[in-house]
Structure 1
Amino acid sequence: MKKLLAPAALFSLGALVLSGCTDNNVSAASDGSINVVATDDSCTVSTDNAPGGTLKFNVKNEGSKINEFYLLADDGLRIVGEVENVGPGVSRDLVVLAPEGSYFAACKPGMVGDGIRSAFTVTAAADGQQVSADRATLQKTATDQYTAYVKDQAEQLLRGTKDFAEAFAAGDEKTAKQLYASTRMHWERIEPVAESFGDLDPILDAREADLAEGDQFTGWHRAEKDLWAPENYTKMTEKQRQQIADVMVENTQKLYDRTLKLSFTPDQLANGAKSLLDEVATGKVTGEEETFSHTDLWDFQANMEGAKIAYQDLKPLLEGTDDKLDAQLEKNFTSLQGQLDQYRDGDGFKYYDELSTKQVQELAAGVDALSEPLSKLTAAVIK
C-alpha cells in the first residue's frame, strides 16, 4: 500500500467538531460573565467575543451526560483553561486570564471524543486595564494548561488505540493502516510523559532494533511490521493479532489512568519540549522510528507540536524577561513547520523513503536550529 490516508482531522491539530455550536439565545450574565449552555449535542455560548483580561464562563449542563468546557488557543490544540465533570443540571465556572487573540470555546459531552466548538475572539483590553499576573501565577497557569493537554491527548490516544486494535485484530488491514499514523500522533505529542512510565513504554513503543535478547516484541511497532510486512515475513495468525491488540489496549488504558494523577513543574515542561526535539533528531528525521511503514513525518509533526505546546504554555514567562529568546523560538518553530509542510501529501505526508538525502539534511538542519534556543528555555522560565 503506497498511499497512506490519515483521517481528515489529523492535521486540524486536535480541532474539535464544528457542528452543533451556536452563539445565540443565551443572554450574558449581569455580572459580565459569559454564559454557556451545554447539552449532549450542542454548546451554546452567549457571545463570541470579549475584551482581554480575566474572563469568567458560567457553564450549565442541560444534557444527560457529564460534560466539560474548554477555552482553546487558536491552533485548536493548546488548552488555555478547562472545567471538568460538569454533571447534568450542574453549573460551574471557568475563570481564565486571556490576552487579545483568537480562541475556540468547546464542550465535550460525555468527556470523550472530539467535542463541539465555536470560534471565540478576545479583543484588546479595556482602557486602563492590563492583562497581568505575578510570576508564580504564570507558572501555575502554564503547568495547569499542560496537565490538561496531556490528559486530553492520552484520552484521544486510548480511544484511537481501541479503534486501531479492533481493526488489526479483525485482519482489516486497510482500516488499521489508515488509523496507524494518526493515532500514534497522540502518543508522539506526549512522548516524554509516556516514556516516564518505564514499564509501559517498552511494551507499547519499543522498536525491534531496541530489543535485548529475550525481550518480547509487542505494541505499535509489532503491529506495524505485520501491516507493512517485509520480504519473507510470516504474517501473524488471528490469535496472535488478538494478543497484540489486547496488550495495546490494556497498557494504553494504564497510561491514561496514570495521566489523570500527574502534575508538572515549569522545568519539566521546558525539558520535555527539548526532549521532543531530541526525539525528532535521533529517530524521526533519520527514518529509524517507523522502519516498516515509513510514516516518520507524522511522528515528526506530532513531536514538534508537543514541543510547541509546552513552549506556548510557558511563553508568558518569557514576555518582558527574555523577549529575545521568545522571538527566536517563535521564528524557528514557524520556520521548521514551513519546512515540514513542503512534504504534506493530501491528509498526510510523503513517506520517509520518498525524501532525498538533501531533503533529509535540510530537515535535520531545521531541527538543530530550533533545538539550540529551545535548550535555553528551562533556565529562562525557572528564574
Structure 2
Amino acid sequence: MTTRRDLLKLGALATAAAALPAFAGAASVGNAIPKAAKPLRILILGGTGFTGPFQVAYALARGHKVTTFNRGRRPIAEWGDKVEQLIGDRTTGDLKALEGREWDVCIDNPTSLPYWVRDAGKVLAGKVGHYLFISTISVYADGTKHGMDEDSPLAVYKGKDAMAETRETLVADIENLYGPLKALSEAEAHKQFGRNVTIVRPGYIVGPRDETDRFTYWPKRIAQGGEVMLPGDGLDPIQVIDGRDLGEWMIRLAENGTTGVFNACGPDYTLTTDAMAWGCHAVTGGPIKFTHVPAEFIAKHEADMTVWQPREGSPYSGYGDVSNARAIAAGLTFRPFATTVADLLAWYRSLPAERQAETRAGITREKEAEVLKAWHAQKG
C-alpha cells in the first residue's frame, strides 16, 4: 500500500515538466470563459509547477493582470509578455523582486515551510489585499477519521524549531514533518496576513501535467488491458481533483474575496475503486478483466497500489472521503471524470517514450503478475 513517505513526498515536492500549450490553457468545460466583473492584480508565488499554469491561464482569460515569482528555472514560453515574471529564491530569502510592489491578491502555491510564509509576510503584508495558500489534507492529526471537515484537529509539530526547518530536513523526515509544517504554515499565514486569508487543502491532484504518476498509473494500466489487479473489494472510496478545477476555482475565490478554510477534494459524489476503474475503462476501451485482491494480501506482498487506501485498517483510511461540502458551497465544481482521464492520457502520450516507460508510482507489470499469480494459487 502507499506509504506515508511516498504519498507526502510526491504531493509536496514533485515538480512538473513544461506543459503543452493545449493543456496549459485548458479551462473549465463549457462555453468561452467570460471576463471577470473587476480585473485584479494577481501575484502567484510559483506558477510553473502543476496547478500554477492553470491558475495563470484562467486568470488571463478572465482579464486579470498576472505576475509570477519563482526561480525562473521553468519559464513557460507561451505566456510571453502576457505575464510579468519576477525572479527570486525563497529558500535563500531572496525576495527583492517583490519589494515596493502591491497586488490585490497573492496565491502561494509551493510552500511547505513556515519560514517561507514568514518571509513573504515581511515583504508583502499590507501590500496584498488577499492571501490564498495551498495546503493539504495531510494537516489533519488523525488520518483514520472518515468525513474529516475543516474543523478537525491538526497535526502537531514536535521538533525543536519549525522556523529552522529546511527542504533538506523536511525530506529527511517527511513522514513526521510534512503535515505539521503545513499546519504551521497555515497559522503563519494568518499571523502575517490577518483575516484576509484563504486556506485550500487538496488531496490527490490529478490530470494533465501530473508528473507524479500517482493517479496516471490507473488509466495507463487499464489502457494496456488484460488482467488488472484492483485492491480490496472495490468499494473503498477514492478522492481526486483535476488540477484545472482546483486552479480555476482559486481564481474565482480571489475574485469573490472568499476567505476561510476549504477541503479541495473531489468529486461531488462517492467515487469507489470499482467506479474509478470502470470510469477509466469507459475512456480507454479494450479487453479487460478486473481481479479484486484483499488489502491484507496486497500488504503481505508489498504491492504499492497508488491513490487507494482501504477504508479500514490504514493510518490514512479517511483520505478517501474527506468532507468537501464547504468547498462546494463556495463554488468548487468538477469537470466530468471521463474528461480528466481522456485529457490526462492525451497529455501523457505526448511525453517522450522513455518518460512513459517509467513507473513513478504504483507497481510494475511484473509485480502485478507476481501478486496475481500468488492470489490465484491461494484461491485454488
State whether TM-score is above 0.5: no
**Higher RCO by CA contacts (8 Å cutoff, separation 6 or greater):** 2
**TM norm structure 1:** 0.29
**TM norm structure 2:** 0.29
Pair member with larger Rg:
1
Normalized per residue, which structure has more helix? 1
